[in-house]
Structure 1
Amino acid sequence: MAKKNSNKASKGKRPEDSIPAEVIEEASAIEAELESEAEADLATQETSAVRESQAEAAPPPDSEGSDERMAELQAENERNRLGWQRTLAEFQNYKRRIEREQVQTRQKITTDVLAGLLPIIDDFDRAMANLPDELKENAWLNGVSMIQGKFMRLLEEYNVNEIEPTGEPFDPNLHQAIARGESDEVESGHIIETVQKGYICGDVVVRPALVRVAN
């Protein structure tokens, strides 16, 4: 009798009751993932359909408006280009003016310093030109002469040069006539003698040469 009841109980048991719980959970997870992917695909398809519909419904571009906008942009670009060119030209002019002023300032400083040194240079020249014969071979004097030579070379490095115009045509821009006279050696209007040397720095006359001119 007990055996009969046992068989009846086995016949009433469902097949899924014998599947392990881990397998059921994994199957449920896979099913949920598949459903999620299906929903995402459906949403993508719907979005694409909406975009295609909007693109088909959009009005054609206004070619006349586009041409006007293009013309405006080209005009603005031309204005900007001209503005940049003007700015560049103004900057270049400013740069040249500053450089020119710097050169003039340096030259002004040099000429001012030189003007203060000219009396000393004149004293050197007069002393060396009127040496007694007994001192011409003096070793100490040779040292002084070397100092004078170094001093003159330093002036040359600063573009300072002597104006020693004996025998040249008289030039009122470079020479100052203090006397006139007769000469058989130079032509009329030429310089007979340089009484005092002049000096020029670049194209600026620091001091004109004092000269005698032939009639």
Structure 2
Amino acid sequence: MSQEETGQIKNETDHQTTADEPVDAESVKTAREETAEQPQPSDAALVQAQKQAQEYLEGWQRERAEFSNYRRRVEQQLKDSYQNASLDMLKSLIPIIDDFERAMTSAPEGLADQPWLNGVMLIYRKFQKLLDDQGVTALDPAGEVFDPNRHEAVGIDDTTDIQSGHVTVTLQKGYAHGERILRPAMVRVAR
């Protein structure tokens, strides 16, 4: 730094007042006028700004809640779609199980020891296990009270052996997955 610059800085600091120096009234009055001339936010503008900030906050919170609800709704729809697709697939396997049962019941007695029939029975058991693992249960309601939500009545029997309103015979098994009926059982009901 040159001597000239050092002298200039010293002169500038000499002109500044310190807390120990007396301040004249004229300079204080001038400082107040300058401060008064600067624009001050009015109370109305401040209230308006606070009101607008509150509206923005409420709008943001509302949008955030709506988005959260939207996300939950989409997740539930995806879950429902997946479950419906799974149940539709399981429903499509039920006729195959019926065919296996009919094939095994119609096999002649003399063929019981045939390896191919044992293979068919093995495939049937695998299908049954698959349905069991997926939570599908067979409905064979013979002797139970007729329930139109779970059974499909295809006939009425006049009998004294079974109480009125009860299933006399199951013509075709039904299937359920939890509380949801995949196929109602076809039954005959006592009068």
Q: Could you say whether these structures have the same fold, taking a TM-score greater than 0.5 normalized by the shorter chain as the test? A: yes
Q: Secondary structure at the match of 2:36?
A: coil
How many angstroms does 1:172 deviate by? Answer: 1.1
C-alpha contact (below 8 Å) 2:143/2:167 kept by paired residues:
yes
- What is the aligned length? 181
Q: Amino acid of the residue matched to residue 150 of structure 1?
A: K
How many angstroms does 1:56 deviate by? Answer: 4.4
How many angstroms does 1:99 deviate by? Answer: 2.8
How many angstroms does 1:195 deviate by? Answer: 0.7
Other-structure match for 1:189: 165
Other-structure match for 1:123: 99
Task: Tell me how far apart the structure 1 counterparts of residues 169 and 31 of structure 2 sit (CA, whole Å).
Answer: 101
Other-structure match for 1:10: none
Structure with a larger share of its residues in helix: 1
Q: Secondary structure at the match of 1:168?
A: coil
Pairing partner for 2:36 from 59, 62, 80: 59
Task: Tell me how far apart the structure 1 counterparts of residues 59 and 44 of structure 2 sit (CA, whole Å).
Answer: 23
C-alpha contact (below 8 Å) 2:138/2:176 kept by paired residues:
yes
Pairing partner for 1:91 from 51, 58, 67: 67
- Superposed, which structure 2 residues align to 1:86-165 within 5 Å? 86-136=62-112, 140-165=116-141
User: What 5-or-longer segments of structure 2 have no aligned partner?
Assistant: 19-26
Instruction: Name which of structure 1's ranges 56-65 and 192-201 shifts more when overlaid on structure 2.
Output: 56-65
C-alpha contact (below 8 Å) 2:165/2:190 kept by paired residues:
yes
What TM-score do you get using the length of structure 2 for normalisation? 0.71
How many angstroms does 1:124 deviate by? Answer: 1.0
User: What 5-or-longer segments of structure 1 have no aligned partner?
Assistant: 1-31
What do the CA deviations read for 1:45-85 (whole angstroms, capped 9, x no partner)? 54678xx86754422999882x4344333322321222123
Other-structure match for 2:11: 42
C-alpha contact (below 8 Å) 2:100/2:120 kept by paired residues:
no
Other-structure match for 1:23: none
Q: Secondary structure at the match of 1:166?
A: coil
Task: Tell me how far apart the structure 2 counterparts of residues 73 and 166 of structure 1 sit (CA, whole Å).
Answer: 75
